[in-house]
Structure 1
């Protein structure tokens, strides 16, 4: 049953909302997590978890389980069909997780949800947030469950509710940016793939971009840019993409289609991550091209940072003014990610022959310079943004720690 009041209300139970709930549970903070959908999505969507994300998720107690169920890959390659332009290795990253971890998003969400259940938490599914307001006394969320409206009051409300965020709109926060031309095709397939299941491959061609990445169950994730696509691309559509963009020698052969979709990609960032008691994170705060596999990773780290910060403020370890640290750390990180994904996408979408030649020459030169390659792997892994994932130590002057609920129970 939904309560009338809570300390923190989280709207949206995708990966970011789930991760924030875990952090608040561990901090002993009373909160409510609601999700419009009656059940979690069973499609894989985001498929990669990077090293810095895994390091951040250690604090939530889920990194080990992700590694156990995921597929570790050392290599990321950019190719122009048959020609290797740039090959990056992740096996020497300065991290306990020196690899790219391939794991479908639905499995990531299952692991996060299991952790919430283990902590005694509940995900309130089938609950839609219709309106959000705030005043000096708190924030108020009108929700609908089984056709009935209810208002829940909270000290803080966090929007993990995607690109069309109700919380961001209620907070009056702008969402700067625009959509890329065309659409992206996303599919998981069984595949005879000449490059094998050992690398993430980003392939350029005059026809456009295609990304092919192995998944733990032996299938492959396909992401491609197209001018137009059916709502659910079929085997013939995916085969045509690989025929025109993949290796031209021993071509790929699609054996089975597990699922597919199409979507339009935007590159946008919220003008602010907070308006008083209202916060945004994940896709509600930033969206961009899937090139580089950065979206879910950036959102998960948003959740870890915000969860730690809210926990310390509510428990009296930090002053409320420290809530500004969330935007100060995480918005610049998102800006860097949007620029990185944008550069990769713009390179891939180059159609003019001269631009393609110049791009290939430039990437070939980069491939010969270890220091530059090292810098790219650090950016892709997120390790170059580690400082933006770490809160400074709280100042203890003038701050009195309030007991958490669990501590109160122990005293009682």
Structure 2
């Protein structure tokens, strides 16, 4: 058995990587393991709000992210059936947030940036092709069984963090229920080359329609856009590519040529574990809670999970706080999901696909009021900040940065 000490983080998505980076910056020994050979580049989150940009700045990532990403301030609510478009500019948040804009870049690009920064710390290591298969914990630590190309191996650490996504192996091995529900429809996320600019689309667009709703957003500096729509989950998933042209015919604003770069169908859920801590094992991000992607609340919440968990765990390991702070982390992050993340995402999903004409008019008027009244608009645009939650009681400690 290899005694690593410190923390093992399972799952090398953005949440796991940011957790590992936070621990490494505090001088904690951390080992990140993932069954994949490299970062997952399938279509996933792509837009980061001012809340997330604050984290990137704090962790020294923002300058690099700005170099490769695309900045935007305009958002549009579109109702094609009524031929209505409402535009809201996030620059109205100037003075309320440090970064009154959004940043567009693929989740895999952000993950690669974090990985580059993590590699600068001698107390951090990443092991690809290393899938967590089992673990046992005791009062002093956690013994983790991993599958590798050389066969099973046992690793020993003081703590284990599961940031291994919605199908979390860590959560399953803890035998934690994933309470909530699954939405009846299937989402299809596509990356497409199409000249949305030509048709007046903003970098972020919410297209509201009872059937052909969509979220359309620019992915980065290139002319590649994310177009996500819904379909009947009873349709054969293996034929999703064949059905895309028919859906595009209804969703795309004009007859121009398009090129599908990637497509990924998936089911969406609103679920949460009853606890994000079981002894020396902790959960973060989608491993602990999942919501539908409307409104971009999932990864936004997960990134804050990563910051709060790395801060709390670092404080416990360095004996600046006792381990009750980890229970507070669990309770508060679950509260944030139940009271902010999931309700906001569910509201956004309803607005996108609302069938009641009266409610659709009310939704359009709400956006129009936000566009015309700066005070109301600022309150509406601040919704992602709700995922920050309440601070740790009595503070926690001065964030350390053990520069590599």
TM-score over 0.5 (shorter chain): yes
Aligned to 1:119: 121
With over 3 angstroms needed to count, the CA separation of the structure-2 counterparts of 1:321 and 1:352, relative to structure 1, is closer
2:262 aligns with one of 259, 263, 273 = 259
Give the drift of 1:129: 0.8
Cα deviation per residue 1:277-317 (whole Å; 9 max; x = unaligned)? 11110110111111111212211111111111111211122
- When normalised by structure 1's length, the TM-score is 0.87
Aligned to 2:17: 18
Taking the aligned partners of 2:213 and 2:202, their CA distance within structure 1 comes to 20
Aligned to 1:84: 84
Aligned to 1:188: 191
Aligned to 1:343: 347
Give the drift of 1:137: 2.8
Taking the aligned partners of 2:108 and 2:301, their CA distance within structure 1 comes to 17
1:245 aligns with one of 227, 235, 251 = 251
Give the drift of 1:358: 5.0
2:100 aligns with one of 91, 98, 106 = 98
Note if contact 2:61-2:113 (Cα within 8 Å) is conserved in structure 1: yes
Aligned to 2:285: 282
Give the drift of 1:39: 1.4
Give the drift of 1:55: 0.6
Note if contact 1:210-1:246 (Cα within 8 Å) is conserved in structure 2: no
Return structure 1 stretches of 4+ with deviation > 6 angstroms.
none
* 2:173 is equivalent to residue 170 of structure 1: yes
Aligned to 1:400: none
How many residues align structurally?
393
Q: Secondary structure at the match of 1:268?
A: strand
Note if contact 1:12-1:35 (Cα within 8 Å) is conserved in structure 2: yes
Aligned to 1:207: 211
With over 3 angstroms needed to count, the CA separation of the structure-2 counterparts of 1:97 and 1:239, relative to structure 1, is farther
Give the drift of 1:117: 1.2
Note if contact 1:19-1:304 (Cα within 8 Å) is conserved in structure 2: yes
Q: How does 1:391-410 map to 2 (within 5 A)?
A: 392-394=394-396
* 2:219 is equivalent to residue 219 of structure 1: no
Note if contact 2:369-2:377 (Cα within 8 Å) is conserved in structure 1: no
Taking the aligned partners of 1:37 and 1:283, their CA distance within structure 2 comes to 17
Taking the aligned partners of 1:84 and 1:319, their CA distance within structure 2 comes to 55
- When normalised by structure 2's length, the TM-score is 0.89
Give the drift of 1:132: 2.1
Give the drift of 1:171: 2.6
Cα deviation per residue 1:158-198 (whole Å; 9 max; x = unaligned)? 10011121222233322111111121111111102244464
Cα deviation per residue 1:71-108 (whole Å; 9 max; x = unaligned)? 11111222111633643321132222111111111111
Q: How does 1:54-73 map to 2 (within 5 A)?
A: 54-73=53-72
Aligned to 1:131: 134
Structure 2, gaps ≥5 residues long: none
Taking the aligned partners of 2:397 and 2:24, their CA distance within structure 1 comes to 23
Taking the aligned partners of 1:19 and 1:72, their CA distance within structure 2 comes to 21
Aligned to 1:410: none
Cα deviation per residue 1:312-334 (whole Å; 9 max; x = unaligned)? 21112222222223123322222
Taking the aligned partners of 1:210 and 1:276, their CA distance within structure 2 comes to 42
Give the drift of 1:36: 0.8
Taking the aligned partners of 2:4 and 2:126, their CA distance within structure 1 comes to 16
Bigger shift: 339-348 or 56-65? Answer: 56-65
